[in-house]
Amino acid sequence: ARSYEYIQTSEPKPGVGQVTLHRPKALNALCTPLITELNQALGEFNSSDSVSVIILTGSEKAFAAGADIKEMAPLTFSKAYTTSFIESWSQLATQVKKPIIAAVSGHALGGGCELAMMCDILYCTESANFGQPEIKLGTIPGAGGSQRLTRAVGKSKAMELILTGKSFSGVDAAQWGLAAKAFPSYEALMEGTMKTAETIAGYSKVAIIGAKEVVNKSQDLPLRDGVEYERRVFHGIFGSQDQKIGMKAFAEKKKAEWTHE
Ligand code: CAA
């Protein structure tokens, strides 16, 4: 694996790529160079034949404590506007076709919460500390938090959380449907995340990428258009070898051997 300053990358299991945010001195605060490295690593996993699914995690103590406040403090409107400050963060959500599982332990605040919400599956520990505390700094969420939190938990709860800056636990996140599951310990989180990643990596890459694409469309399109979009992709997958392989294996009561074609 390539060496980075603020992140670590690995392929812990066949088909599984992992990015670990690693800026321990600042609780993984998301400075611009960290995001640049993250985008580079995700781009490499996205185009790698050996990777089907990506895990994004931090440390036990912090997934990420937010955008880098010290970097933002002197930023001006004109600088933010002309450089599209924070826009590059959304590459995670827009440029990566393979599913990304966030494994969140400890703090996931501000931009850290937003980064986790951009992922396709969110797993956390019960004691994880989520929140959008920007209001306490005299600002507002800037990396999609107001949109994704609202879609996940509904308007009234999102409004309450964003206007008060109050944090919420992994137990809450799972109860509200923001997280798919909250695990009782850090070890259980990482084990459960790997298990899900391996399950996904065991399927056809064509179907994995198609499934991610259509589920994500549900967040952007009205129902009728989304259903039509899904059907087009579904029809398209009849053109893959793996659809034939998967259905033939079922009929023959055998295990499918995917070609990813
Ligand atoms: N930016 C820059 N540095 C940060 C940081 C951040 N978001 N969060 C933590 N750090 C740094 C601290 O400054 C500290 O550095 P020093 O040792 O050099 O002082 C180091 O990380 C350790 O932090 P603490 O000593 O504060 O650790 P703690 O355990 O006492 O507290 C915490 C942990 C509650 C997470 C606290 O660090 C905190 O409140 N952090 C800020 C959280 C926040 O407001 N995030 C939102 C940022 S705004 C944003 O993200 C905008 C957006 O929508 C994109």
pLDDT recorded at residue 2: 75
Query: Could you identify the atom of ligand 1 that is nearest to the CA of residue 112?
Result: 50
Q: How many angstroms separate the alpha carbon of residue 106 from the centre of ligand 1?
A: 12
Q: Is 179 helix (H, G, I), strand (E, B) or coil?
A: coil
In this structure, the residues whose C-beta lies within 6 A of any atom of ligand 1 are 26-27, 29, 65-70, 86, 107, 109-111, 114, 133-134, 137, 141-143, 145
Domains contained in the chain, CATH given: 7-201 (3.90.226.10), 205-251 (1.10.12.10)
pLDDT at 1: 60
Tens-digit pLDDT string for the chain (261 aa): 678 999 999 999 999 999 999 999 999 999 999 999 999 999 999 999 999 999 999 999 999 999 999 999 999 999 999 999 999 999 999 999 999 999 999 999 999 999 999 999 999 999 999 999 999 999 999 999 999 999 999 999 999 999 999 999 999 999 999 999 999 999 999 999 999 999 999 999 999 999 999 999 999 999 999 999 999 999 999 999 999 999 999 999 999 999 999
Please state the atom number of ligand 1 nearest to the C-alpha of residue 142: 53
Assigned token pair, 56 = 């994004």
For the CA atoms of 30, 79, 39, 242, the dihedral, rounded to the nearest 10 degrees, stands at 120
pTM of the model: 0.97
Q: Is 14 buried (19+), middle (13-18) or exposed (0-12) by CB count in 10 A? A: exposed
Residue 229: which of 242, 239, 240, 215 has the closest Cα? Answer: 215
Residue 108 main-chain phi, psi, to 5 deg: -135, 80
Sequence-ordered list of residues with C-beta below 8 angstroms from that of 213, at least 6 positions apart, any chain: 97, 233
